[in-house]
Amino acid sequence: MGAESRDLKRLLDLDEPEDGVGTFEEAGADAVESGTVPRETVRPAFDVERYAEDTIGRERLPTITDEAAIEEARIASVLMDSVPPQGRLASAADDVEVAVRYAEVEALDDDQQLAFLRARLAPMTRVPSLTRKITELGPLIEDPKTAYILGFVDGLLPLETIVEVAGLPEIDTLRILDRAVDQYVLTFRSKGL
């Protein structure tokens, strides 16, 4: 008990109370038990009674109690141009659609596949850029070939140059690039830039 009392006195001395107001000696045993020291009430700089009278006459805002009105107010407060988050179901449906389309393309012979992929990626003079850093693509990079081809995408080389310098069969390179466009991994610069 003696150590607590001494610590309390030290803390109160650090507060440097105003002369004669709220000192440890005035507080007595009650202050030691409760850990508080009585202080004089400080009056605000404005007229409290006048402030109270002014606020009584002010109109109160109505409280909405109707459920339909509450819902309208909630909808009005939401930003309508925000994009809703996509759930896993929408993503899974997109993946199935892409898988079906790729199965149909792979059923074609090589010349037809090349023509189809070239038409999808046309014009081949466009310059692709990655939408994210290659280290952030994670599961979208299915195999080493994909990582290798995406390594050429630097925002400077056009598609036709990437196909030429990659050293892989043209059809493999075009498949990888087409799949990257479908997965929003690649984007193309607009002509204004």
- What does the pLDDT look like over 154-166, one tens digit per residue? 888 999 999 999 9
> Quick one: pLDDT at residue 1?
55
Predicted local confidence at residue 26, as pLDDT: 56
Is pLDDT above 70 for 32?
Answer: no
Count CA atoms closer than 13 A to 84's CA, side-chain side.
Answer: 6
> Does residue 100 or residue 59 have the better pLDDT?
59
* DSSP annotation string for 32-53: HHHT----PPPPPSS-HHHHHH
Output the average pLDDT for the chain.
75
Q: Which two three-digit tokens encode residue 47?
A: 């007229």
pTM assigned to the model: 0.47
CA distance linking residue 94 with residue 111, whole number of Å: 27
Is 19 a residue whose pLDDT tops 80?
no
User: CA-CA distances (angstroms) from residue 116 to 102, 106, 119, 128, 145?
Assistant: 11, 11, 5, 19, 21
